[in-house]
Structure 1
Amino acid sequence: DGHSITVFQERDPANIQWGSVGADYVVESSGVFTTVDKASAHLKGGAKKVIISAPSADAPMFVVGVNLDAYDSKYTVISNASCTTNCLAPLAKVINDKFGIVEGLMSTIHATTATQKTVDGPSNKDWRGGRAVNGNIIPSSTGAAKAVGKVIPTLNGKLTGLAFRVPTNDVSVVDLVV
């Protein structure tokens, strides 16, 4: 169609010249640069804003329909949480606003991720993490319940959760029991 797409190949986001292609907003989805300090490297190349597509230890975190009204345009780096948090937080907000939540357990079915093994092997985290991703449903931990506490402070510490990693390319389903 005559449109070109510029592709960069850099290990250090500070070396990517976002300004040269007119990119004002950068979505940081590598899973590596998830803190404000690390994600801010994109700003050095000319980006005006960075959205981290994972939970962040220190970036302001927002979920559309939950706490987006707290967004301030002065933020240059924000987190859009995780796919599981984006699935869980709106549900938890509606239930909490209408009825209140004393405590809850969430379980999620989640697609495979890049950190999982393709063949059985050792895992630094736990035995289950060493199972081959393509032929197993693997119980795992999830930070989604904790992240909900960041976007809905009244639920901080009230939710816990577990994940099941399944051999599919794309899925995030949440079951919440309160």
Structure 2
Amino acid sequence: MSDLDKEYDGIRYKAKDTPPLIFKALFTVLVIWAVCFMGYYLFSGWSSEGEFAAIKRAKEARLAAEKSKGGQAALPVNEERRSTELLAAGKKEFAERCASCHGPDAKGGIGPDLTKKTYKYGRTAPEVMQTLVEGRPGGMPSFRSELSKDKLEGLVEYVLSL
């Protein structure tokens, strides 16, 4: 009796040199699928970075088209949320620090009317920020050491929204 044909506890064992046909078929299908998968994803030029860049370019083109039509470009969601938070914080700071001079409705009092279309020292964000940080002669105090950058930005946004 050879090593290949043995009997253990009444069970006859005969070693086969080849795996079952179903395993061969499944392995062959798996290898073919893997080669096709690698060929497609490695050599087709597709990448998630390329897809992201294409989406970003399309969004920028859409925003530029909206801006060129005369409308303001829409803010991204996180910027819009930050803007509304700044506006709310600015309104609160205005009520606490500015309403005593400019009036609760910003129509003026001791200080000038902030609802006008133009200001004496300019009505752009950098000019209003400069006014808040440095103050102005004739009564406008400096808030440089009293307010944080976020509070100043909120106050500027609120004043410009009037």
Shorter-chain TM-score tier: under 0.3
Higher fraction of strand: 1
TM-score (norm 2): 0.25
- Larger helix proportion, structure 1 or 2? 2
